[in-house]
Amino acid sequence: MFSILNSLKTHQLGDLDYKSDIDDFLAAVMTQINGYTDDQLLDLERIFILAMTNCCHVLGENAYRFDSSKRRRPINMGLFESINYALALPLPEPINLSQLKQSVESLKADMDQSKLFTGSIDTRNAVKYRFDKADEIRMELSHV
C-alpha cells in the first residue's frame, strides 16, 4: 500500500484519486500498475527499498510502532505507510541523524495523539492527515 500511496502522492498514478474505498482503489491501481514498463516497476522497487533502508537507519527496530511506557505496541500499518513515504527519498549529506530521529519521533507522537491511526484508518481524511504529516518531514529534509 505504501508504494501505491507514494506513487499517488508523486502523481505517477495519473488521475486516480483515493475516495475511502480501499478495495476499489487497489483494484484501479493494480490495473494501472499492470501496464507499467519494467523500468517503472524497478523504480517502484527502488523507492521501496530506499524508504525501508532509511527507516531502519534513522529509527531502528521500532520505526513503525507508537511509543508506550506500558507495553510494546504492535506495528501500525498507517504509521508504516506514513513513515516510509516521509523517508522515501535520498537523505541529504551531511545530515544529523539524531535530530532527524527526534523530528520523526515528535511527529509520531502527534500522529498517535490524533487518534487517526486506530479503528478505520483508510478514510479519506485519515489518509490525507497521514501524508500531510509525512510531507512535513519531507519538507524538512529538502531544506537541510
Residues with Cβ < 8 Å from 81, sequence gap 6 or more?
A: 1, 2, 5, 130
In the chain, the number of structural domains is 1
pLDDT of the chain along its 144 residues, tens only?
A: 545 555 545 545 566 676 767 778 778 888 888 888 999 889 888 988 999 999 999 999 999 999 988 899 999 888 998 899 899 889 988 888 999 999 999 999 999 999 888 877 777 788 888 888 888 888 888 776
State the residue range of the domain holding 107.
Answer: 2-142
Q: What global pTM score does this model have?
A: 0.79
Give the separation between CA 47 and CA 29, rounded to whole angstroms: 17
Quick one: which of 25, 35, 113 has its CA closest to 68?
113
Give the separation between CA 17 and CA 32, rounded to whole angstroms: 13
Give the separation between CA 131 and CA 126, rounded to whole angstroms: 9
